[in-house]
């Protein structure tokens, strides 16, 4: 999907997101599961405006960023230059990657996987990930829980009123199972005129059960290492909102004569 003007508002709206927790989550588990040393190669899928890509780069990773939105990537490239980090960004669909090489870790964070509409797209993305991981490479992603969509989003209204940017956010049941549609109206101050411009966006998200994600991962050839929630250790609970998965690409067996 194209985020259009939303790309330029995203960082302001996400300024309180716990980005450093995502970086710490990956660093700790790379050491825990693979004893990572040196400069791991990391692919940040659905990288958006590059906030996590930049933080991973500053934390010692060799980062590549991929996103479907040209607008998001334009913001990401400008930010990387401002922070003095070198990150190649590519406009691609995470369900259909080309020419990205091999990585020690691949991440899909900020519930970006939930923007895929069909089961086939999720499975295709997992297949692309495993093809772009080194043997024993780790795959990290997070998704909204089924209960989060049903109880935390559907039929809910959110609003923020600030001087520069305000928004009204309404969420409705989607047509597909465990899906939600978000209608967002932003009001952005034009400092030249003192008037507010209105920007409307429609966003779709869909999720699946922990068991379904786990089944897809193992069927594709991953070893599922960990499922947890909300940046905490331990299995997800009924009230958990953000589910984290950590999986490892199994080494291919060498055929014997």
The segment(s) of the chain belonging to CATH 3.40.50.150 are: 6-144+208-249
Residues 194-211: what's their mean pLDDT? 93
Res. 242 pLDDT band, cuts 50 70 90: very high
- Judge whether residue 179 has pLDDT over 50: yes
137 compared with 9, residue with greater pLDDT: 137
Residues 170-182: what's their mean pLDDT? 96
> 90 phi and psi, to 5 degrees?
-130, 140
Res. 2 pLDDT band, cuts 50 70 90: very low
Q: How far is CA 230 from the centre of its chain?
A: 14
Indicate the average pLDDT of the chain. 92
Residues 70-89: what's their mean pLDDT? 94
Res. 199 pLDDT band, cuts 50 70 90: confident
Res. 3 pLDDT band, cuts 50 70 90: very low
What confidence score (pLDDT) does residue 1 get?
Answer: 33
The segment(s) of the chain belonging to CATH 2.20.25.110 are: 148-206
Select the CATH number that applies to the domain covering 6-144+208-249 from these four: 3.40.50.150, 3.40.50.970, 3.40.1440.60, 2.40.128.20. Answer: 3.40.50.150
What confidence score (pLDDT) does residue 38 get?
Answer: 84
Assess if CATH 3.40.462.20 describes domain 148-206: no
Element (H, E) at 25: helix 19-34
What confidence score (pLDDT) does residue 163 get?
Answer: 87
- Judge whether residue 106 has pLDDT over 70: yes
User: How many angstroms separate the CA atoms of 126 and 84, rounded?
Assistant: 32
């Amino acid at each position: 999907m194209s985020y259009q003007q939303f790309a330029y508002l995203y960082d302001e709206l996400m300024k309180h997101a716990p980005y450093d927790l995502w970086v710490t989550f990956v660093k700790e588990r790379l050491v825990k599961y693979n004893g990572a040393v040196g400069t791991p190669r990391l692919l940040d899928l659905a990288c958006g405006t590059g906030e996590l890509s930049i933080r991973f780069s500053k934390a010692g990773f060799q980062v590549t960023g991929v996103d479907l939105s040209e607008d998001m990537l334009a913001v990401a490239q400008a930010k990387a230059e401002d922070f003095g980090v070198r990150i190649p960004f590519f406009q691609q669909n995470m369900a259909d990657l080309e020419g990205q090489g091999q990585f020690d870790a691949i991440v899909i964070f900020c519930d970006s996987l939930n923007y895929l509409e069909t089961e086939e797209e999720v499975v295709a993305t997992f297949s692309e990930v495993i093809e772009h991981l080194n043997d024993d490479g780790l795959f990290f992603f997070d998704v909204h829980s089924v209960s989060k969509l049903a109880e935390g989003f559907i039929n809910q209204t959110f609003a923020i009123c600030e001087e520069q940017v305000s928004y009204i956010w309404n969420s409705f049941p989607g047509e597909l199972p465990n899906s939600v549609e978000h209608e967002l109206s932003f009001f952005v101050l034009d400092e030249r005129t003192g008037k507010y411009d209105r920007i409307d966006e429609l966003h779709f998200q869909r999720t699946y059960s922990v068991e379904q994600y786990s089944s897809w991962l193992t069927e594709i050839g991953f070893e599922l290492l960990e499922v947890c929630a909300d940046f905490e250790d331990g299995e997800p609970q009924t009230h958990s909102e953000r589910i984290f998965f950590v999986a490892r690409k199994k080494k291919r067996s060498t055929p014997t004569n």
